[in-house]
Amino acid sequence: MTRRISVAGKVAVVTGGASGIGAATAAALAAKGAHVVILDRADSTQAADALPQANGNRHLGLRADVTDSMSLEAAVAAVIDEYGCLDVVVANAGVAEAGTVAVTPIDALARTVEVNLIGVMRTVHATLPHVIDQRGHFLLVSSAAALKNVPGGSAYAASKAGVEWFGGSLRLEVAHKGVSVGVAHPAWIRTPMYEAQDKIDAVREGIQRLPWPFNVVTDVDDCAAAFVAGIENRSRKIYVPAALAAVDKVRGVFTGRLWDIAVGLRASSTVPALEREVSALRATEPA
């Protein structure tokens, strides 16, 4: 049985930790006594300074871009200089953009995969030797989107499904070294990313039409609590909401032919509506 982790006193890196799920997870780890390092493209110094203090922990905010391995390696070197070790990595940084393949620029589709999937690979590669030294833990953030097929999020779903399968293989590669790997499947979480998509009528209506539990919207602090509990227990999978665990066992229902037929009955009207709305929004964006 894999030993449980107490995060108190551990050094934990959270990518994309300046906002959203990353920020809430960083705060939850800090509240339990972890030394938390926020890695983010934005200046994360203030975010790190605002983290809870417990058991003498100290926090650090560093600029890093998960699409740039040199940036990540420099940040990891700074972490080792500051703390001497690295125990936990939460590969959370991600982007999402509503729209179909037809109305989304190819560069935007490719960037979604570059950040969400390749960014996780780069993060793991840069941190792996140090996590091995500590017999530590990785938490890779996938999504409920990896459990089902729906129109309007092809690149996002592909990237998150890739994270799941990458994590599964990684788990087998490092288990004998004492390292554990968890994959998280959050559905809709109240974050700035969710709020931005919820403003698009076609997206909001699409969420409401999804079957339970895919349509559940979870508070970000509840999501963070589930993530931290999963880290402490070295959980193989984390589901937010927890009911997605049952869905995962029968995911073939939500990726099979009958599902295609059921969703396809609405797609002839919902997809054009989404494309019109997204195209209109893009037309108002600065060049």
**Catalytic sites, residue numbers:** 156
DSSP three-state, residue 63: strand
Exposure on the CB side of residue 129, measured as CA atoms within 13 A: 6
What angle do helix axes 220-232 and 20-31 make, rounded to 10 degrees?
50
Helices H / strands E in the chain, number of each: 11, 9
Q: How far is CA 279 from the centre of its chain?
A: 27
CA distance 63 to 83: 17
Residue 23: its H or E element: helix 20-31
Q: Which of 183, 159, 168 is nearest to 238 (CA)?
A: 183
Q: Judge whether 37 and 59 are in contact, CB under 8 Å.
A: yes
Judge residue 128's burial from the number of C-beta atoms within 10 Å of its C-beta, 0-12 exposed, 13-18 middle, 19 or more buried.
Answer: buried
Q: Judge whether 259 and 148 are in contact, CB under 8 Å.
A: yes
CA distance 112 to 72: 18
Overall residue count recorded for the chain in this entry: 287
